[in-house]
Copies of this chain bind each other. A is one copy, B any other.
Amino acid sequence: MSRQNGRQLHLNAFLMSVGHHEAAWRLPESDPHAHVDIDYFVELARTAERGKLDSIFFADSPVLMGDPGRRPGGKLEPTVILTAVAVQTSRIGLIATASTSYNDPYNLARRFASVDWVSKGRAGWNIVTTAGADAARNFGLDDTPDHRLRYEKAAEFVEVSTKLWDSWSDDAVIADKTLGIHADAEKVRKIDHHGEFFKIDGPLNVPRSPQGYPLLVQAGSSEDGKDFAARYAEAVFTAQQTLEDALAFYTDLKERTRAVGRDPDSVKILPGIVPVIGDTEQEARALDAELARLISPEYAHRQLAERFDLPLAALDLDSELPADLPSEDEIEGAKSRFTLIVNLARRERLTVRELIARLGGGRGHRTFAGTPVQVADTIEDWFARGAADGFNIMPAVLPSGLERFVDQVVPILQERGLFRTEYTETTLRGHYGLARPVNQFDAAGALVTAR
């Protein structure tokens, strides 16, 4: 029986080529060419599906991230990965990041609608605004647009996308061969959107997809990010190092959701966890230490200095962080992650070298090294205390980290009645217990009932 009165956990696997740990590719098990091998990703997805997970997720940015000399550089475009996975799995949900700053709504809305068709209702879109001048410089700009402006544009992007997805009524297609009428043309509408950032006539050139539109996911935890999530997100990925912080975030976001008139249950909050799993606690800690040993400290040192907007010399490896760091307001992008890292270092009085080791695995997400039971315990603990609706599982090393989670942790959660033993639904929204969105034009009784 459930220990949470039947309340069910949601589990997403956040898949990063050979694992979230930056040195994972150097382990003997890792295939250093996996990041361009679609069969590898399909295998990971099948493992997640074997574990009855709600979904898998691929992050993205339209730029070559990091130093390709130091770790596998570049990745396949994630809607391409989702599509290849979609036709070789049947239940697992499929989420990918795409940027509202560097895409056209018409093209992106159409691509996600297409993936939703191909997956028969399993597509999800992680909406990001994309920070960083290097990405901007791949799109004709000199620098990244201002944080607030990016979020305003993102809001309009989502609004116009839902209009495009709703431009076909669900019952628009009649397909009457005798009369030669394929669709009821009045149920296929122009949207004539003339906004601040976008001017789009529509309709979309794809009929409304199985889920209506993809699950909307969000992952920024800045003030702008939380307001955005409250308005639009159905699932939220977040980095939280402590139970207290996670509780505060959960309460805050649910409250903001209620404040904009949405049911707080319609947003599922999933903190990240980087489980380093061993048969014994000692084995788990040994793997953790081995990964830390493989990090190139020069590279991580440079990355950290860039994040703090400091010269390299200002960050002594064997001292704590300097007292005079910039404030979150002065940082452009990844604002909440910046604050999380500073708080972590200060709270635990970590040297820069120690901080680097802590960040190597999860880039700010919570790393937890332990046995399967210990991992299940911490998941249940946060869930029971109301700090999470589920978790974003971020294996440090792949494929073994996912296999261990699926084969060793999931059965414990199932035994405790916290997690499904079989899929009961066929769509991504179904897995998360969310309702299919009503078509805004049909609901408003616009053109359709005006006939």
Contact = CB atoms under 8 A, between A and B. Distances in A.
A117 interface: yes
A79 B79 CA distance: 10
A375 interface: no
B180 A138 contact: no
Contact of A207 (B73, B103, B199): B73
A118 B38 contact: yes
A32 to B, nearest CB: 4
Nearest to A168: B74
Given A32-B182, A33-B173, A80-B79, A107 B69 contact: no
A245 to B, nearest CB: 32
Interface stretch (A58-66, A363-371, A397-405): A58-66
For this chain, the copies found in one complex come to: 2
A403 to B, nearest CB: 21
Interface string A122-148: 000000000000100111100000000
A200 interface: yes
Contacts of A294: 180
Nearest to A70: B182
A207 B68 CA distance: 10
A133 to B, nearest CB: 9
Contact of A202 (B30, B138, B181): B138
Interface of A: 23, 25-28, 30, 32-33, 36-38, 42, 61-65, 67-77, 79-81, 83-84, 86-88, 102-104, 106-107, 110-111, 114-115, 117-118, 134, 137-140, 168, 172-173, 175, 177, 180-185, 188, 198-207, 294, 296
